[in-house]
Structure 1
């Protein structure tokens, strides 16, 4: 969104703000709905993400809904959805408004509360928002089933380990992987005795054991280890 875009300050019905971490593609904004203008209220067009019904969101969300979500400006809807999805933030639905006025802001705040959004991103004047339409995307933090990145072993790594497996990368805080004391560089070679053939095979094992405690057989610095981990529900139900 162009840096010149500004939203007028209105009488406060709700004041929402977010500080987006450095490096994110979104910028902090304030959304302050007020009394509707004299013109007729803006009509909201809301689309629920397939499979993200209120019951599903309630079952898989990581924590109770916040008093107010974080709000930010966005530039690339698909890039934001992929980035946030990798961090366990599930896109649950979007609203479209024409124009983006006081009434629209008030409806966006109400929708964010209704879906229990942890984050809402506003797109105006971007490819995601055609013409003069403003898109507001709502996200809820879901429980991560594992909580670490992993990749296939390279040929030399397979030779050193003596078997197939996956190498752990970043371990996210507060996830099953961290609670099991996994660290970057660990090589997972088996889940509950089932060999890990590659990245796709490991993903399938995690999916098949979602919600249960499993034993991971690891290689760390050339030494065999075993860790017990309770997997969460899948982040993409």
Structure 2
């Protein structure tokens, strides 16, 4: 009986452990919009490492976190986020980073979200045995004789015990980056309605982040500058800015900017 109970408990423990073997960082991975393996290969600064660098951060303002990495020249290629009651190893995030060709994986420190208590039934076999003793008298030509006998009856069944289980759950997350190859080194966005009113045009882009040591950085272009033209050609939106910079790879260009309401001109050497 004791051996059977031990074996049953081992089986239950193994089943619980196996629920944590899945890689949540892989299962819940979502590539960034417009990012494909071909895009990553064409825009990375160097070949993918065997294992990416891993950094850690508490959960926080994602825009600020990503902006900090953008300044360092990193581009987001995907992210993972999930909630789990298991103690998930950050090695799983590292493996997923290697699988998608990341140069760097930012792993968020797990954030406790609460506990869930339930119970698991544990059924074990039971047996009960009863014993009986009886006697009988026999009569014959030779006289009287008394016979004694013993008998046993075994009944098989089972009993169920409910084991309480408390699971502590936490949020997990990671962001996957590649080191980008930048021709200009300026992250831009489209104008908002207020900026269109100020410029009296729908065309133009706003610089959000400058990559350290990039052509834009060396040309002293600043976050907040509004780019309205490149070599005298109007920049209509974010897509046109990227396209215009691409066709000018390796060339010296002139950017027309609006800074603090005043027009200025900047020249920079576009990377190849």
Q: TM-score range by the shorter chain?
A: 0.5 to 0.7
Once the 2 structures are TM-superposed, how far is the Cα of residue 90 of structure 1 from its aligned partner?
Answer: 0.8
The corresponding residue for 2:30 is: 48
Q: TM-score, normalised by structure 1?
A: 0.53
The corresponding residue for 1:176 is: 215
What's the secondary structure of 1:75's corresponding residue? Answer: coil
User: Compared with structure 1, are the counterparts of its residues 79 and 191 closer, same or farther at alpha carbon in structure 2 (3 Å cutoff)?
Assistant: closer
Counterpart Cα distance in 2 of 1:95 and 1:186: 34
The corresponding residue for 2:247 is: 212
Counterpart Cα distance in 2 of 1:220 and 1:140: 31
2:41 paired with 1:58: yes
Once the 2 structures are TM-superposed, how far is the Cα of residue 92 of structure 1 from its aligned partner?
Answer: 1.5
Once the 2 structures are TM-superposed, how far is the Cα of residue 139 of structure 1 from its aligned partner?
Answer: 2.5
Per-residue displacement from partner, 1:166-212 (whole Å, max 9, x unpaired)? 78787432323235x3444988553132145xxxx363441221422
2:173 paired with 1:135: yes
Q: TM-score, normalised by structure 2?
A: 0.48
Unmatched runs of 5 consecutive residues or more in structure 2:
1-15, 114-167
Counterpart Cα distance in 2 of 1:183 and 1:48: 33
Per-residue displacement from partner, 1:65-115 (whole Å, max 9, x unpaired)? 34541320321363456535754431423264734536x333222222222
Does the 8 Å CA contact 2:204/2:227 hold for their aligned counterparts? Answer: yes
What's the secondary structure of 1:65's corresponding residue? Answer: coil
Aligned length: 181
- Structure number with the higher strand fraction is 2
Counterpart Cα distance in 2 of 1:166 and 1:65: 32
Does the 8 Å CA contact 2:57/2:109 hold for their aligned counterparts? Answer: yes
The corresponding residue for 2:97 is: 112
